[in-house]
Amino acid sequence: MSTPHKRKLGPWSVYPIGLGCMNLSHAYGVPPSRAQAERVLLGALDAGVDLFDTAALYGFGANETLIGDILAPHRQRFVLASKCGMQGVDVQGDGKPVRVIDGRPATLKATCEAALKRLRTDVIDLYYLHRWDKQVSIEDSVGALADLVREGKIRSIGLSEVSASTLCKAHAVHPIAAVQTEYSLWSRNAEIAVLQACQELDVAFVAFSPVARGFLTGALRSINSLADKDIRRAMPRFSPQNYPLNMQLLQAFEQLAQQAGCTPAQLALVWLLAQGEHIIPIPGTTSLEHLQEDVQAAQLTIAPQHVAAADTLINRHSVHGPRYPASTLPEIDTEDF
């Protein structure tokens, strides 16, 4: 194994692989116990991870609270990223929050104030607009975040799931430090335009779901094992029609990883790191063992032919099903094939 070069993220240099904290509280069925979450978070620090990514949406504030409770004593050791503009709101007054996209300046500022308290910090290093609220101009939303920078409540601004043109409009208002979008062997939308736009503007590209929402780990052999409230149940690639077809790709991918001398998850991450020095994957996990496996991917040297073979095997032409259901598409701004 080799010592990886750190990658630029705004004014910071970070380990090439960060930690996405969402599934410690949200989205993929029953979250792990607090004790297990603590093992993962502190284990990530011990493994050299210095970028932790959360959001107001995750667990409707619970994930930010978890991060604050466990990592506040270590605040100087990592870059803290969170998100606003999409959060849980108790619309019906029944104590059951629903997801709402709201990019109005007053909402973003109020969300930030609440996040600072939950995260137990005076400043958030990287604060993303989680989704562009298309009822509000991107200039107005980013302008509100720029106010937070001037007030010293956040240090830099990020955008999530935006197109290259939206990035350019936002960047003209205030420098954007990072764009976060799904990117993996099986989700290539970023390759249309925004990946190159980030490189040209010196913006880091933070890749979420880099192991394809667990698919590329090989751990999910059947969709029947997914919890009832697991968000993957609504995603077309995990449908009863498409998943068996995608599993055929996975079997060949696992063989390729074996030939490369690494795990399938590591091959997926090595491929992603090879796509550009400005790319920082943030896999998520509830397992300390899987965390260590992911982190070690940045230290591996895999033969170029194996990386190229992975690219040829799994891509937008070979995968079955779009990445999101049709109902979600209006919420995102990323380019589509």
- Locate the domains of the chain by residue range: 7-331
Give the whole-angstrom CA distance, residue 53 versus residue 210.
Answer: 14
Average pLDDT, rounded, for the chain: 96
Mean pLDDT of 124-137: 98
Structure confidence at residue 89 (pLDDT): 85
- Looking at residue 98, its pLDDT comes to 87
How far apart are the C-alpha atoms of 205 and 41, rounded to whole Å? 22
Pairing state of beta strands 176-182 and 154-160? Answer: parallel
Q: Where are the alpha helices (DSSP H) in 12-137?
A: 34-46, 62-71, 105-119
Determine which one of 28, 58, 127, 243 is catalytic: 58
User: Strands 124-129, 204-208: parallel, antiparallel or unpaired by DSSP?
Assistant: unpaired
The answer to whether 324 is a known catalytic residue is: no
CATH superfamily for domain 7-331: NADP-dependent oxidoreductase domain (3.20.20.100)
Taking the alpha carbons of 226, 227, 231, 233 in that order, is the dihedral positive or negative?
Answer: positive
Residue 136 has pLDDT above 90, yes or no: yes
Encode pLDDT of 33-49 as tens digits: 999 999 999 999 999 99
Under 8 Å CB-to-CB from 157, ≥6 apart: which residues?
Answer: 126, 127, 128, 129, 142, 145, 146, 149, 170, 174, 175, 176, 177
pLDDT at residue 1, as a whole number: 78
pLDDT of residue 14: 98
Alpha carbon 203 to its chain's center: 16
The arithmetic mean of pLDDT across residues 123-143, rounded, is: 98
**Secondary structure of residue 207 in the 3-state scheme:** strand
Please give the structure tokens belonging to residue 253: 């991918």
H helix or E strand, kind and range, residue 200: helix 194-201
Model pLDDT, residue 306: 98
**What is d(CA 180, CA 302) in angstroms, rounded to the nearest whole number?**
26
Rounded average pLDDT over 306-314: 98
pLDDT of 222-276, one tens digit each? 999 999 889 999 999 999 999 999 999 999 999 999 999 999 999 999 999 999 9
pLDDT value for 97:
87
Query: Mind listing the pLDDT tens digit for each residue in 10-24?
Result: 999 999 999 999 999
Which tokens belong to 196? 């190159």
| pLDDT of 204 strictly over 90 | yes
Q: Do 173 and 139 touch, CB atoms closer than 8 A?
A: yes
What is the structure's pLDDT at 91? Answer: 77
Is the pTM for the entire model greater than 0.85? yes
Amino acid at 134: K
**88-122 pLDDT, tens digit each:** 888 777 878 889 999 999 999 999 999 999 999 99
